[in-house]
Amino acid sequence: MQKKLIQIGIKLIAALLGVLLLGAMPGLFNGMNLDLSGYVNRLLNTIQQLIHYKDLTFDSGEGSYQLFPVLFEYLTYSIMILFGALLIAFLAGLSFTILTLRLPAPLQKGIRRIAFLIESLPDVFILALVQISVIWIYKKTNVLIMDVASFERIYTMPILVLAILPTFLFYRIMIHIFEEEFEKTYVDLARTKGVNATRILFVHIFRNAILSIYFHSRSIVWFALSNLFIMEFIFNLNGLTRFIFEHPTPEIFTVSCVLLFVPIFVVLNSFQLIAERASKEEALI
């Protein structure tokens, strides 16, 4: 366990260093020419400003304001939408997988085709479709499901909208992994011992599949993060990714990316540790 935690710590430091180097990239170019000395100067300047992070400011309108603690409000909002959407997508994907596996084979085939078609739709198309639908419903019924033109912080609809495509991605991954697990000998052994199908599915197969689901689904987190950036613009949401775009300085980019990356890194690695522990315990049963 100690060795694992050391590895995680090294990965975290390497990732933060990568963010720092990336944040100084604008200094690498002087017009169309590479400028290594400019990059080093920008990097050193960024490090110096991050050390004195309490003095960082951002411009808004005609005024200049302290970056902290205002930045935490933007960060908290984006993190709540992102993690809320991923949690719903994971649970919905798992529910759809279990329901699909309990249906007759011909029906399973039809559902998978529909899921594949929805998954293939561009994320921008989904977000625009939702926005148009909200406006259309408001014009027809005078019921405003979500305010798509204000700058207020709303949660329910952004979380549900952001969860749409990750749900189908989780579904495709889970159904593939679950089917592979069904073909393994320990499932046949459990059946011969009289273990009921529900226990086999929820206890043995799920615990064996959870680690594979984690490794296959890490890209979904980054996919959802890119969609969050698009959604904050389309829905006028006052989140961190929009804030970074509207205040494109190396210092704000670096400190914002670090603050956004750390909770994602912690959640992903915590999930991995839990999944590894669950799989190990299942192997010992």
End-to-end Cα spacing for the chain: 21
Report pLDDT digits (tens) over 13-71: 998 999 889 888 888 887 778 888 988 998 899 899 888 888 899 988 778 889 999 99
For 43, other C-beta atoms within 10 Å of its C-beta total 19
8-15 contacts at long range (C-beta below 8 A, 24 or more positions apart): 8/269, 11/265, 11/269, 12/262, 12/265, 15/261, 15/265
Which pair of structure tokens corresponds to residue 95? 């529910």
Report pLDDT digits (tens) over 239-269: 999 899 888 888 899 999 999 999 999 999 9
Q: What is the mean pLDDT of residues 157-182?
A: 90
pLDDT grade for 5, boundaries at 50, 70 and 90: confident
In Å, how far are 82, 124, 162 from 62, measured between CA atoms?
Answer: 32, 33, 34
Q: What is the pLDDT of residue 76?
A: 95
Give the C-alpha separation, 48 to 96, whole Å.
50
Q: What is the mean pLDDT of residues 123-141?
A: 79
Q: Across-strand partners of 190? A: none
In Å, how far are 2, 8, 79 from 90, measured between CA atoms?
Answer: 29, 24, 16
Helix (H) or strand (E) holding 66, with range, is strand 63-66
Give the C-alpha separation, 218 to 114, whole Å.
24
pLDDT grade for 146, boundaries at 50, 70 and 90: low
Instruction: Please report the DSSP string for 81-113 in residue order.
Output: HHHHHHHHHHHHHHHHHHHHHTS-HHHHHHHHH
Q: What is the mean pLDDT of residues 189-212?
A: 83
Q: What is the pLDDT of residue 149?
A: 58
Report pLDDT digits (tens) over 81-101: 999 999 999 999 999 998 998
Give the C-alpha separation, 226 to 233, whole Å.
12
Task: Name the DSSP class of 30.
Answer: E
Comparing 29-33, 146-150, 191-195, 268-272, which segment has the lowest mean pLDDT? 146-150
Q: What is the pLDDT of residue 79?
A: 95
